[in-house]
Amino acid sequence: MRLIHLLPFLALIPGAIAQSEAPAPVFDVADVHSSPAGVRDGGIYLHANRLELHGVTMLHLIATAWGVPEEKVFGGPNWLDTDRFEIIARAEKPVTTENFRPMLQALLADRFALKVRNEDKPEQYYVLTATKHVQLKESATPGDPQCKRANGDGYLGLTCQHVTMAYVAEGLPGIAPNYFNHPVVDQTGLTGSYDVTLKWTGRGQLGSADPDHAGISLFDYLQKEMGIKVEPLTRPAKSLVIESVNETLAPNPPGTLEKLPPQPTEFEVAEVRPSKPGTEQNFEMKNGRIQAFAVTLKDMVGFAYNLDDYMLPGGEKWLDSDKFDIIAKTDPTATDGTLRAMLRTLLAERFHFQSHFEEQPVSVWALMAPKGKGKLRETTGEEHAGCTRIPKDGAFTLTCRNTTMAQLAARLPNIGGAAGYLSDHPMVDLTGLKGSYDFEITWSPPARFAAAGRGVPTSTGPAVAAVPTGGVTLYEAIEKQLGLKLAVGKHSMPVVVIDHADRLPAEQ
């Protein structure tokens, strides 16, 4: 049996969007229920005749079941990208990457009354065309196409030999996804084989305040140095439209849990010991094995219970200072969720660990609305809740549709380009706004302001730039573009209180 973690490559597996007219295969038994509050996306796993999904949104489930990107799923209710679910399903025959999709489609139809249809929707893409001044070097000798990274001098780079422009176009989204975030089509008319060098600045570093390192965009490099123009266009593309779906799922059939063998809660072999002085910290988890060196008990608890740092406040000093090594193993097919459950058992056995949840005031980023809904636009309700981040010209643009302020507060700290601003505290919605809105916000990466001296906003007001940088911080963008405000303050949040833990692990 082999564990397959699907998230990194599910989108690469071909799959027809249309539903088959033949009866769809089904799981013999499936436990479907809502995820506990605060659970993150825990991934999708196939092993033997079992499918497991943990902390997965309905949008992700639908995209996975039909083999389409999430941005190709349209319609549906506001909660589609926020409510999370757990699924453990079993079939008599092996569940593989080839046959699980129709089985998942049937399960979603059964438990959520999901109905979808195919429809062509506009899709953005890029076209490469040749200018009058093409500057390409044809390969002197024949050979197989090959490319390698050539980063240096503050630039990103790529050198290729024996490549066609069609080959380059196909590879650009993987080479520079922050520039080419849509498919690329070659319409240059160039049919030769070329040796090509590309050189560009990462989009997050474009427009630096330092004139010696302002950089060059990949779009500009292609046109100025190679004579290849990049043009964004739209075309119709097959998409999936949600006709109906229930937020309240149908209950499990009687006897479901009895038919699903429970997952083991203990490691087959486990060793826990104090770390030797000078041991370098390291954590590795794969193939049913955990190897952790020089980790604190708080580190272990945070991983075992899947907690953010703020959820483990206070406690005795040794909880943050004493270091331990853990080597534990079980069946190689064990999922992350199973390994976390086993680690919880191990903590209880070796450290006699006990804890409970309670509400306590913690430091938070508070999203507030001093002027009501400010510049937010009431949603038309035609699209499900969702936000798309696009890097552009050294900045980040987040476009949200049918999104509540609570959803924005939950999503924003995990969005690339925003995490650097918000990573030190959780974010909570204190706007008092209950509606859903369409809005767009653009800000610059935090690194641009480090030397400029821009500080962090407080409860008394936003930070002010010490020197101009030509960009906007996330804090300023929220105030100027949305009419809202971010400030650091205290707010009551659920945290884990450690009731007891032995300082030395028990022998086993």
Q: Which residues pair with 356 in a beta bridge?
A: 497
- % of the chain beyond a pLDDT of 90: 51
Q: Which residue has the tokens 């390994």?
A: 339
Q: How far apart are CA 211 and CA 447, in angstroms?
A: 16
Work out the average pLDDT over 131-136. 93
Over the stretch 444-488, which tens digit does the pLDDT of each residue have?
887 666 544 445 555 444 444 433 345 788 999 999 999 999 999
**For residue 448, what are the contacts with CB-CB under 8 A and spacing of at least 6?**
207, 208, 209, 394, 469, 471
Q: How far is CA 466 from CA 82, 209, 278, 471, in A?
A: 38, 13, 42, 13
Mean pLDDT (the chain, rounded): 85
Closest CA to 374 of 415, 435, 422: 435
Q: Which two tokens stand for residue 134?
A: 């093409």
Over the stretch 246-293, which tens digit does the pLDDT of each residue have?
999 999 999 998 888 777 889 999 999 999 999 999 999 888 899 999
At residue 470, the pLDDT reads: 54
At residue 252, the pLDDT reads: 93
Q: How far is CA 255 from CA 30, 260, 394, in A?
A: 10, 9, 56
Closest CA to 168 of 148, 185, 151, 182: 185
pTM attached to this predicted model: 0.72
Work out the average pLDDT over 297-318. 90
Work out the average pLDDT over 334-339. 83
Q: How far apart are CA 314 and CA 311, in angstroms?
A: 10
Closest CA to 287 of 347, 336, 345: 336
pLDDT band at 343 (very low <50, low <70, confident <90, very high): very high
Task: Spell out the domain ranges in the chain.
Answer: 4-114+245-259, 123-237, 269-351, 363-494
At residue 256, the pLDDT reads: 92
Kind and range of the H or E run holding 45: strand 43-47
**For residue 139, what are the contacts with CB-CB under 8 A and spacing of at least 6?**
161, 162, 192, 193, 194, 195
Which range in 146-155, 229-238, 335-344, 403-412 is most confidently predicted, on average pLDDT?
A: 229-238
Q: How far apart are CA 387 and CA 376, in angstroms?
A: 14
At residue 1, the pLDDT reads: 34
Helix axes 297-304, 336-351, angle to 10 degrees: 140
Q: What is the DSSP string of 419-436?
A: HHHHTTS-EEE-S---S-
